[in-house]
């Protein structure tokens, strides 16, 4: 059967792997270039069709003179903050040599929904290396260990790492920081979706960021896993909006110092290893990394 697509509206799309310099690693992100805002249901339908944790929709606003990004999950949730959804979109624009910073002077920036994010752009190993500035970390509240232990299939003693509390920490997005005693227990953890959703709603956090600083890879600050069933993400391979709060939390604990670049490993147990660079500054937290293009094509509306 022949289908005539001649009169259908088409949009260019790309798939990039984010927080990595190698294809088929990192966090997969679909990016769709739009000339104008779409109907909200079109955002939902396209995001569901791609099937990745998030899909970003981008365009350059001539009126606002800024590169604009909107991102959605498969579960009809719009994502904000400086995470892989933003990093991948910016790296794509740089790789495709789109002129998105022509009106910015010395300080490049982009807009995610309604928020402007400052950027620092360099190059590493022939790829764009992009830093995104998040707000300073704010510790919101502590969550009881027994609540979270049940939700991730571990015991309370499994969550005893240096005596650190399980705290909700926010830069742009409030995520739960969950210390885990060691790497073996981190690997053992599972997401009990209903219990995690219940805890997130009760205590007011979005995702659950499990991490351990007790592991053999000396060049990484921490290894992490991220569960966020409330917005349709079973496990995310790289989560910039959680890595920033983790760096801020560890700095407040006195575990790391400001103005030093650290690496967080994530996605190892779902075969999508990702490396997220973090650096705490006096006026915010820089979350940085690279991306590579895996595929591109056209979709029909």
Residue range 107-121: average pLDDT? 94
How much is the mean pLDDT over the chain?
Answer: 95
**What's residue 160's pLDDT?**
97
SS (H, E, C) the chain: CCCCCCCCCEEEEEEEEECCCCCCCCEEEEEEECCCCCCHHHHHHHHHHHCCCCEEEEEEECCCCEEEEEEECCCCCEECCCCHHHHHHHHHHHHCCCCCCCCCCCCCEEEECCEEEEEEEEEECCEEEEEEEECCCEEEEECCHHHHHHHCCCCCHHHCCCCCCCEEEECCCEEEEEECCCHHHHHHCCCCHHHHHHHHHHHCCCCEEEEECCCCCCCCCEEEEEEEHHHCEEEECCCHHHHHHHHHHHHHCCCCCCCCCEEEEECHHHCCCEEEEEEEECCEEEEEECEEEEEEEEEEC
Q: How confident is the model at residue 2 (pLDDT cuts 50, 70, 90)?
A: low
Express each pLDDT in 201-243 by its tens digit: 999 999 999 999 997 667 999 999 999 999 999 999 999 999 9
Q: How far is CA 124 from CA 87, 131, 241, 290, in A?
A: 15, 12, 22, 8
Residue range 87-106: average pLDDT? 92
Q: How confident is the model at residue 106 (pLDDT cuts 50, 70, 90)?
A: confident
Q: How far is CA 237 from CA 27, 40, 216, 276, in A?
A: 5, 26, 20, 10
- Does the structure show a pLDDT above 60 at 111? yes
**What's residue 216's pLDDT?**
64
What is the H or E stretch that residue 176 is in?
strand 174-179
Residue range 172-191: average pLDDT? 97
**What's residue 6's pLDDT?**
64
Express each pLDDT in 41-86 by its tens digit: 999 999 999 999 999 999 999 888 999 999 999 999 999 999 999 9
**What's residue 3's pLDDT?**
55
Q: How confident is the model at residue 285 (pLDDT cuts 50, 70, 90)?
A: very high
Residue range 136-150: average pLDDT? 98
Contact 33, 108 (CB under 8 A): no
The pTM of the full predicted model, rounded to 2 decimals, is 0.95
- Does the structure show a pLDDT above 90 at 5? no
Residue range 249-275: average pLDDT? 97
- Does the structure show a pLDDT above 50 at 1? no
Q: How far is CA 5 from CA 2, 9, 33, 59, 199, in A?
A: 9, 8, 19, 24, 47
- Does the structure show a pLDDT above 70 at 185? yes
Q: How confident is the model at residue 8 (pLDDT cuts 50, 70, 90)?
A: confident
């Amino acid at each position: 059967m022949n289908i005539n697509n001649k009169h259908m509206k088409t949009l260019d799309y790309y798939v990039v792997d984010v927080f990595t310099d190698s294809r088929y690693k990192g966090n997969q992100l679909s990016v769709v270039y739009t000339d104008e805002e779409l109907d909200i249901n079109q955002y939902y339908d396209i995001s569901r069709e791609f099937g990745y944790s998030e899909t970003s929709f981008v365009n350059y606003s001539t009126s606002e003179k800024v590169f604009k990004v909107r991102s959605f999950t498969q579960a009809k949730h719009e994502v904000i903050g400086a995470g892989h959804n933003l990093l991948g979109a910016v790296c794509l624009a740089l790789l495709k040599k789109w002129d998105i910073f022509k009106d910015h002077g010395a300080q490049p920036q982009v807009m995610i929904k309604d928020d402007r994010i400052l950027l620092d752009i360099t190059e590493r190993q022939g790829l764009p290396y992009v830093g995104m500035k998040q707000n300073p970390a704010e510790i919101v509240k502590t969550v009881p260990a027994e609540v979270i232990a049940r939700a991730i299939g571990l015991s309370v003693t499994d969550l005893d790492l240096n005596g650190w509390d399980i705290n909700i920490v926010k830069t742009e997005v409030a995520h739960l920081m969950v210390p885990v005693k060691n790497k073996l227990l981190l690997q053992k953890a599972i997401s009990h979706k209903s219990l995690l959703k219940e805890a997130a709603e009760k205590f007011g956090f979005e995702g659950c960021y499990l991490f351990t600083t007790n592991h053999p890879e000396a060049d990484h600050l921490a290894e992490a896993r991220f569960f966020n069933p409330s917005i349709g993400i079973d496990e995310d391979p790289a989560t910039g909006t959680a890595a920033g709060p983790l760096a801020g939390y560890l700095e407040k604990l006195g575990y790391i110092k400001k103005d030093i670049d650290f690496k967080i490993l994530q996605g190892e147990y779902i075969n999508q290893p990702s490396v997220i660079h973090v650096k705490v500054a006096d006026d915010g937290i820089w979350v940085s990394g690279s991306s590579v293009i895996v595929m591109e094509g056209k979709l029909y509306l």
